[in-house]
Amino acid sequence: MASVHATDASPEAPSLETLAARAEQVGPGMREVARGESPVPASIPIPELGADACIRALLGANSPVVAALVTDAGSILAITRAEALVTLDARGPVCLRKGNSARIEVQGQAPLVRYVLWMTP
C-alpha cells in the first residue's frame, strides 16, 4: 500500500549549482558575487558597490516567489512575476550608481529561496 504522504511531497528548490550553471544565460560576461539560500520572506543584500555596477540575479524555490530589487530609499528598481524560477530583471541587468545600497526582497509561500547574484564590473 502506498504512503499517503508520498503524493504530498513538494518539488525541491533548484540547487545552488544548478542556478550557478546558468551564468552564461543569465549574466553573460558578469562575475558571480554571491550565492546562498534564505528562508522566505527574505531580504538579500547586494554586495557593496565600489563603482557603478549592473546586477542580475537568479532565484529558485519549490513554489512561486516574487522578488524585487529595492533601494535603501525604498524605490523598486525591478520586480519579477510569481514563479518558482525567476530572473531579476528578466529584460537585462539593473544598474546602480557607486555608493547606492540595495537588496532583493522575496515573498511567497516557499519555505526557502536559493539565489545566485552576478555583477559587472
Going from the N-terminus, what domains does the chain have, and what CATH number goes with each? Answer: 9-120 (2.60.120)
pTM (2 decimals)?
0.88
Residue 61 CB-half CA count within 13 A: 23
Distinct helix (H) and strand (E) counts, the chain: 2, 8
What are the pLDDT tens digits along the chain (121 aa)? 444 444 445 678 999 999 999 999 999 999 999 999 999 999 999 988 889 999 999 999 999 999 999 998 899 999 999 999 999 988 889 999 998 899 999 999 999 999 999 999 8
What does the pLDDT read at residue 49? Answer: 85
